[in-house]
Amino acid sequence: MIVLLILLCITDGVLSQIRYSVPEEADHGTLVGNIAEDLGLDLTKLASRRFQVVPSSRTPYLEVNLENGVLFVNEKIDREQICKQSASCQLNMEVFLENPLELFRVEIEVVDINDNPPSFPETDITVEISESATPGTRFPLESAFDPDVGSNALRTYDITTNNYFYLDVQTQTDGNKFAELVLEKPLDREQQAAHRYVLTAVDGGQPPRTGTALLVVKVLDSNDNVPVFDQPVYTVSLSENAPVGTLVIQLNATDMDEGLNGEIVYSFSNHISSRVKDLFSIDPRTGRVEVRGEVDFEESSLYQIFVQAKDLGPNAVPAHCKVLVKVNDLNDNAPEITFSTVTESVSEKAAPGTVIALLSVTDRDAEENGQIHVEILGDVPFKLKSSFRNYFTIVTDGPLNREQLDSYSVTVVARDKGTPSLATSKSIRVQVSDENDNAPTFTQPIYDVYVTENNVPGAYIHAVTALDPDIGQNALICYSILECDIQGMSVKTYVSINEETGYLYALRSFDYEQLKDFTFMVQAKDAGTPELSSNATVKVIIVDQNDNPPTVLAPIGKNGTAKEPLPRSAEPGYLVTRIVAMDADDGENARLSYSIQRGNENGMFRMDWRTGELRTARRVSVKRDPHQLYDLLIEVRDHGQPPLSSSASVLVVLVDSVAEGRGGGDRGGAAKGKEGTLDLTLILIIALGSVSFIFLLVMIVLAVRCQKDKKLNIYTCLTSECCLGCSSCCSRQARARKKKLSKSDIMLVQSAGNVSGAGTAQVPVEESGSFGSHHQNQNYCYQTKHQRAELSYLVDRPRRVNSSAFQEADLVSSKDSGHGDSEQGDSDHDATNRGHSSGADLFSNCTEECKALGHSDRCWMPSFVPSDGRQGPDYRSNLHVPGMDSVPDTERGKGFASSFRVDIPETA
């Protein structure tokens, strides 16, 4: 019969335990229970959650079907072999599930059956009893042994019915039964020297089992006194692991007899257990009980030693006592650490609290010696978490970074609280698995790659390198070029990259003269999930080669030969022609030098090697044939390595004059006009004519502007003093005509006889003229000062000039003439908004004087109207010219109702 007991206890996510019972001797395959069903687990998820038995708790007697959770008997269980005489026999097993972790403790109690009968150590038991023994005397008999326990253990003894003896069955403190033969009737040796009975041991099983032995009682002659112990029971304490020979107790028994009848011999009683005989010894003469074997508290904390004392007299009657030995526990067992499961690796992205390992800690000692403290050594990102009873889990306690440390040695230390404290440590190695959390990084953000032009297509030009601290697929880097255009074509038609090595190759031959440099981006991408990438810039710089020879541009000749005239009267240094050449290369490859290679054997010419100018080195010899030519071969060479050169053929023709040379050239050209080419002389003539025409045009423009300045200067001489013959003013103004007058130079001032003073107002206009550079300390006839927007008039100022030229007026519009700022607004400004007179014209028509001031279309000067409405004198007739000689006081009386002043400021 199988009994199921389920105990539920939730502790940190672990379902505590379940208990079964199974009888011993059950056959193989006997069903004990279904762990999965009894715990309410989903049978379909046992495999996915890796349902399994903790390896350290496996037993050969029981097995679990991991697919359906059935617990069954694997081998026949012999309780007596497993648990000996222990009252309780229990097998323990731990099972667990993953995802999430759940641990269950399974306890299987092995139920004893009555499969063993009681048995005596010997089949014949002999007891010697003196005939003088009085009724009631007790004689202990050897106990029978029954391996079964509980109700199946030895229950009682029985003896054949007789008239002399009966059995008194007693129970020890440990529950064992033993029998004492009690004398019921005095014996008479002479009547019967021996008595034989059958001694039967009966157990409590159903049905009960029995064991028998032949009990022989020999009747001896009497020994009147028996030994006596000081006390029937002794209690002593003994430390475990006491060395051999350690005194347990010194027993003492006395006998009143003398001689051999009083000499006592000590021994263990017959019913003492064999284990006690292995652990302890007794001295027959002295009664000294000593340690004989290794006493272990964990094996048993209490031992019972039964000792008898018997004299050496005939028909001796033994005396008995019991010694209780209590074993004191010592801290002699270090804690034991057992890892049930260990995770091989943990992801570096594992969240805190991820289970790494499951372990159990035990200590066989008791009380404080068995209390354990468990910890993890070192500064590691792991911690211990108590799960159930003495079970612990190791979980992550912080972030992991494989790139910093790819594995951890986790050392667990278990230490008890005994004195001295004992400790045990065990280490496990936890590997940190890689995650793709690092993007590849280039060794340089920008790569400058120098490639010589005219390279071979497909040639290696550079290598880019990216590093990824990850490992495996996460560190497998693939290089690529990001798409872009170079001169309208894809960059992938210019360069390519090896995806694995990052080697860059040129796909075409580069030409420095067409492409000097270009830039593109390369990308490094890993093979992790998700993919991570980074970019770098590659700048390819084409290095120039000397692959272009110089090209001669001028002079241009026919059939590769240019003709140049040389007058016979030419002086040394006469410029015959200038060789113009260019080189498409750059730097030293394009720096040219010129030289005469042939035709100058007599040293007639010299060549400037820098500029290419061909000049005469001496006068032309009169003895030379006038029709003979100088056929010169000019070489133009660059400074590249190796240098390249080109040549030009120049045919120098001696002529009597330059005109003749040019004319001859024209006639020759006309004769061959069908060629359609112009010689260099004609080009120079055309250029000279163009420059002369432009110069003439500039002179005309300057003359027109000077004429305008002359007209403007007339107004500087409009004062009466100048017009009556004072030529000093006009002469000063003539000397000051270096400045062009514009309306920005005009300031209007009003004066009245009853006004003591006034301020000046500026009329902001654009200054269109400029002064000369030597006008320091000179007085001009015009000046402007910009102080406020409205006109103000100054009274009683000297040097007033009356001019009738202002008496004619045109109607003035507020429109700007286009020469600069106007005191009025734009053309849409209504003139009526600017005056205070009603119905009267606020502006006069322009005169020639106004036109000379730069207002050829309209006049900007307002008419002055007195406050009483009467028409006052025209203010334009009063022109004040600062810088002129002071007007005599007699002239001040010739005052007008108002005055108009125009000042011109000095400039440095």
pLDDT per residue over 164-181, tens digit each? 999 999 888 777 888 999
Bigger pLDDT: 559 vs 128: 128
Tell me: pLDDT of 852 over 50. Answer: no
Cα–Cα distance for residue pair 142/273, rounded to 1 Å: 11
Tell me: pLDDT of 14 over 70. Answer: no
SS3 state of residue 745: helix
pLDDT at 29: 87
SS3 state of residue 704: helix
- E strand or H helix that includes residue 849: helix 848-852
pLDDT at 712: 53
pLDDT at 792: 35
Which token pair is 892? 């001040």
* Cβ-based neighbours of 808, under 8 Å, separated by 6 or more: 845, 847
- E strand or H helix that includes residue 572: none
pLDDT at 159: 93
Residue type, 495: V
Tens digit of each residue's pLDDT (9 = 90 or more) over 77-110: 888 888 877 778 888 888 888 888 888 888 888 8
Cα–Cα distance for residue pair 853/744, rounded to 1 Å: 10
**Averaged confidence pLDDT in the chain:** 75
Tell me: pLDDT of 732 over 70. Answer: no
Size (the chain), residues:
908
Could you give the C-alpha distances from 539 to 462, 464, 488, 523, 542, in angstroms and in order?
A: 11, 12, 18, 14, 10
Work out the pLDDT band at 16, boundaries 50, 70, 90: low
Work out the pLDDT band at 190, boundaries 50, 70, 90: confident
Bigger pLDDT: 156 vs 803: 156
Helix, strand, coil tally for the chain in percent (to 5): 15, 35, 50
SS3 state of residue 147: coil
Nearest of 875, 713, 893, 891 to residue 799 by alpha carbon: 891
DSSP per residue over 590-613, as a string? G-EEEEEEES-TT--EEE-TTT-E
Work out the pLDDT band at 661, boundaries 50, 70, 90: low
Which token pair is 884? 């002129």
357 within 8 A of 339, measured Cβ to Cβ: yes
State the pairing for strand pair 319-328/233-239.
parallel
Work out the pLDDT band at 463, boundaries 50, 70, 90: very high
199 within 8 A of 215, measured Cβ to Cβ: yes
758 within 8 A of 794, measured Cβ to Cβ: yes
Tens digit of each residue's pLDDT (9 = 90 or more) over 516-550: 899 999 999 999 889 999 999 999 999 888 888 88
């009466």: which residue's tokens?
720
130 within 8 A of 221, measured Cβ to Cβ: yes
Bigger pLDDT: 826 vs 150: 150
Q: How far apart are the first and last CA of the chain?
A: 132
* Cβ-based neighbours of 261, under 8 Å, separated by 6 or more: 223, 224, 225, 255, 311, 312, 313, 314, 316
Cα–Cα distance for residue pair 464/529, rounded to 1 Å: 23
Tell me: pLDDT of 766 over 50. Answer: no
φ/ψ of 3, rounded to 5, equals: -110, 135
109 within 8 A of 21, measured Cβ to Cβ: yes
Which token pair is 280? 């302890």
Could you give the C-alpha distances from 869 to 795, 836, 838, 839, in angstroms and in order?
A: 20, 11, 10, 11
What is the pTM for the complete model shown? 0.46
CA angle 649/650/652 to nearest 5° reads 150
Q: Which of 21-30, 107-116, 154-163, 812-821 has the lowest mean pLDDT?
A: 812-821
Tell me: pLDDT of 817 over 50. Answer: no
Work out the pLDDT band at 570, boundaries 50, 70, 90: confident
Tens digit of each residue's pLDDT (9 = 90 or more) over 672-723: 333 334 456 778 888 888 888 898 999 998 888 887 766 555 444 443 333 3
DSSP per residue over 16-51, as a string? EEEEEEEETTPPTT-EEEEHHHHTT--GGGTTTTT-
Cα–Cα distance for residue pair 862/876, rounded to 1 Å: 10
CA gyration radius, the chain: 69
Cα–Cα distance for residue pair 715/806, rounded to 1 Å: 11
80 within 8 A of 89, measured Cβ to Cβ: no
Handedness of CA 863, 867, 869, 872 (dihedral sign): negative
* Cβ-based neighbours of 699, under 8 Å, separated by 6 or more: none
């400074």: which residue's tokens?
639
Cα–Cα distance for residue pair 806/898, rounded to 1 Å: 14
Cα–Cα distance for residue pair 366/213, rounded to 1 Å: 42
637 within 8 A of 610, measured Cβ to Cβ: no
DSSP state of 481: E
SS3 state of residue 69: coil
Cα–Cα distance for residue pair 881/904, rounded to 1 Å: 9
167 within 8 A of 180, measured Cβ to Cβ: yes
State the pairing for strand pair 561-567/645-655.
parallel
Could you give the C-alpha distances from 497 to 458, 491, 522, 540, in angstroms and in order?
A: 11, 11, 9, 14
Sheet holding 423-433, edge to edge: 345-347, 423-433, 407-416, 372-376
- E strand or H helix that includes residue 121: none
Tell me: pLDDT of 293 over 60. Answer: yes
pLDDT at 35: 87
């074993």: which residue's tokens?
327
Q: Which of 43-57, 309-323, 441-455, 827-841 has the lowest mean pLDDT?
A: 827-841
Nearest of 763, 783, 784, 775 to residue 860 by alpha carbon: 763
- E strand or H helix that includes residue 661: helix 658-671
- Could you tell me what percent of the chain has a pLDDT over 70? 72
Mean pLDDT confidence for 145-170? 89
Written in H, E and C, the secondary structure of 237-284 is EEECCCCCCCEEEECCEECCCCHHHCCEEEEECCCCCHHHHHHEEECC
Tell me: pLDDT of 400 over 50. Answer: yes
CB count in 10 Å sphere of residue 448? 12
Tens digit of each residue's pLDDT (9 = 90 or more) over 199-248: 999 998 888 999 999 999 998 866 777 899 999 999 999 998 899 999 99
Cα–Cα distance for residue pair 61/286, rounded to 1 Å: 50
pLDDT at 54: 85
Query: If 0-12 CB within 10 Å is exposed, 13-18 middle and 19+ buried, where does residue 313 land?
Result: buried
CB count in 10 Å sphere of residue 714? 14
DSSP per residue over 763-783, as a string? ----------S--TT---S-B
Written in H, E and C, the secondary structure of 94-107 is EEEECCCCEEEEEE
* Cβ-based neighbours of 32, under 8 Å, separated by 6 or more: 2, 20, 22, 62, 71, 72, 73, 108
Work out the pLDDT band at 394, boundaries 50, 70, 90: very high
pLDDT at 710: 62
CB half-sphere exposure, 339, CA atoms < 13 A:
16
Sheet holding 102-111, edge to edge: 3-11, 14-23, 102-111, 90-97, 52-53
Tell me: pLDDT of 837 over 80. Answer: no
pLDDT at 525: 94
Residue 378, phi-psi category: left (phi > 0), alpha (psi -120 to 50), beta (remainder): left
Cα–Cα distance for residue pair 464/540, rounded to 1 Å: 13
pLDDT at 752: 38
Bigger pLDDT: 809 vs 186: 186
